[in-house]
Structure 1
Amino acid sequence: MRDPSDDTELQLVLGELGKHNLADGFTEAIRSSMDYVLDGSRTGRYDLLSKDVHPGERASVGAKLEYEVQRVFKWKKSKPLDIELAGVPVDLKSTVGDNWAIPTEAHCHLCICTQMRLKDNAHRSWLIRTHTSWLYRGKGNKDGKRGIAVDARNQWGVPLYDWTRLPINPLTLLTESQAEQVFELGRGQEVRLLRLFTYLPKVVIERSVILTVCAGNQDPMRRARAIKDKAAEKGILLLCGKWVSDRTVAKGFGFDLGPGDWVAIPNESVVQGESAGADFLF
């Protein structure tokens, strides 16, 4: 049993990992994994902690993350484990709970272990050699997978980055009443999108959010563009990153819009309503 500083392979892998911005890369990979599981553009779901999401689906975020991490960092799949870094086999493990399930083939190997705290919108990763003596004793689950003892992780694991915040889906900022109105059955897309931008002023709305609100409907982006004049009538300057002129104006307000991003800037006449969190029914 070796201390991390005496583990030559671990130090080689750390050197390779040091070439990447791990916190940002894992943030992107986790967000993509969550979006994949929620499938908002078809289901209208946007919160993994919602009762509409089965616990098994939440757990599947970890399985998807393995592939998203490889995509983000351009790490190629390599046997006998998941990837190979600096010529050393490395397994990728993640959990939305408190521990990881380490399979028998990964025992005593190096693992990148990622923990996602959904309630806190945060994540963190460690590099650890999963010695069998550091795993919980017993046969493990039916596949022989065993968890890592917390003391062993704290003593022998190498933190790869500090706890890092995950971007919050703007839809989770809606009150219960506002969410009901934005997703009201039987209402047209334009009406519901106008409510969305009214309830979330000065919040960057990504394309995926609009697709979620308009799940199952045709051409939601065209519908969003069609409400710019209606928004102006209600005292809202609606800016879309698709147009250079809008991006320039948004920049002046402190917002850096991507091609698929939107932001609603309320005029002074509606600032009071915004600060009060008022519901606008129309």
Structure 2
Amino acid sequence: MQESLFGEAQEFFGRGTLGATPLAASDPALNNVIQEVVHKGRGALEQRFAAVFRASVDEILDGRRTMRFDFSEVSPVEKSYLGAKVEILARDEFDFGHGTSLDYLIGGHEVDAKFSATGDWMIAPKNVGEILLVMEASEETSLFSVGVVRADGVLLRPRETRDRKRSFSAAGKGAIHWLIRDAPYPRNQMMELYREAPEAIESIFSSSGSGQKRVDELFRALQGVHVNRTTVQTVAAQEDSSKRVRDARIALQGDGILILGYHRRHRAIASALGIEPITQGEWVAIRVYPAESDSAARQALIEGVAYRLAEYCDGPAPAPAIPNE
């Protein structure tokens, strides 16, 4: 089993797993599957599924190779693979077994994974009567749901598609035992940044030169923004985000810009200057200026010199060198 995806997503949440609906006593196998999924969540089911959905979409976007961040630019063929990606990452994250005839083996029972971006799952004839782990996630709303249901024929609409698949009726959707319902998962940061500052993002991507130059421009243009690893990889079109940030830190030092990360010393500086806490896999750029002896602004002592956040009217002053991460 690969390392959990939950590590970087845990800071996104302030609450734990949402409670499941009451179990149906008439279906012991279904109950067992529900209990086993909750157990495998280890008290963080919502957070860990959220990480699965964010990672799945990011892998389809593949920003470090394609520089894409808008899911609408993904081809229909790639979008069709999203369900398979969710299935694979969920199996790895929760250590679900491989089924013989269906996707998973959970609590000794065969379970099929069903993903939909719209909540309209299509049920093949082989799945009728089987236990399903139904999952829904939308990049438009950044909300997701996860539930368990047995796909009894009476819960499906009678109308079939050409390949004989059917969807759940209203009663069928009502029979789903929701483990998580309409919960947030981490947003696509590049899309958020583009909506808030389209000119800055367009300038970053249109800048000539290497991926390193684009990363330099990212931190120059978006000061005070907590930038995550996926965003750096997308802008750089390279995988080694930490090296790109280290090099940008050197390149921007002369402009008075510090790039702070998760290193203990960096977080202490951020706290002293009133910057929101930096979590693992994040960086934030700030411009600093030597603090005057009578300054009332918040200050951080860096290499024996007091610094404050720079103001618009402050002239050029190099940033101090601080230990790299």
Normalization by structure 2: what TM-score? 0.73
Q: Distance in 2 between matches of 1:160 and 1:271?
A: 49
Give 1 or 2: higher strand fraction.
2
Residue 163 (1) aligns with residue 182 (2): yes
Residue 133 (1) aligns with residue 154 (2): yes
The structure-2 alpha-carbon separation of the partners of 1:127 and 1:219, relative to structure 1 and needing over 3 Å to count, comes to closer
Partner secondary structure for residue 227 of structure 1:
helix
Normalization by structure 1: what TM-score? 0.83
Report the CA distance between 1:220 and its aligned residue: 6.0
Q: Distance in 2 between matches of 1:219 and 1:138?
A: 50
More displaced, 82-91 or 224-233?
224-233
Percent identical among aligned pairs is: 25
Report the CA distance between 1:90 and its aligned residue: 1.1
Amino acid at match of 1:148: F
Contact 2:64 2:239 in 1 (8 A): no
Structure showing greater Rg: 2
Partner residue, 1:44: 67
Contact 1:182 1:196 in 2 (8 A): yes
Partner residue, 2:206: 184
Task: Give CA deviations for 1:144-185 in whole Å, capped at 9, x if unaligned.
Answer: 22211133212x111111312121232221322122111115
Unaligned runs of 5+ in 1: 273-282
Residue 29 (1) aligns with residue 70 (2): no
More displaced, 226-235 or 99-108?
226-235
Report the CA distance between 1:72 and its aligned residue: 0.4
Partner secondary structure for residue 71 of structure 2:
coil
Q: Distance in 2 between matches of 1:62 and 1:200?
A: 34
Unaligned runs of 5+ in 2: 1-22, 289-308, 314-325
Contact 2:233 2:239 in 1 (8 A): no
- Runs in 1 of length 4+ with deviation above 6 angstroms? none
Q: Distance in 1 between matches of 2:149 and 2:63?
A: 35
Partner secondary structure for residue 186 of structure 1:
coil
Q: Distance in 1 between matches of 2:79 and 2:61?
A: 9
Partner residue, 1:6: 26
Let me know the Cα RMSD of the aligned residues: 2.5
Task: Give CA deviations for 1:71-100 in whole Å, capped at 9, x if unaligned.
Answer: 000112111211122222111111112301
Q: Distance in 1 between matches of 2:203 and 2:96?
A: 43
After superposition, where does 1:9-158 map in structure 2 within 5 Å?
A: 9-19=29-39, 20=41, 21-49=44-72, 52-142=73-163, 144-154=164-174, 156-158=175-177
Amino acid at match of 1:170: Q
Task: Give CA deviations for 1:187-217 in whole Å, capped at 9, x if unaligned.
Answer: 34344223312333333323332121111x6
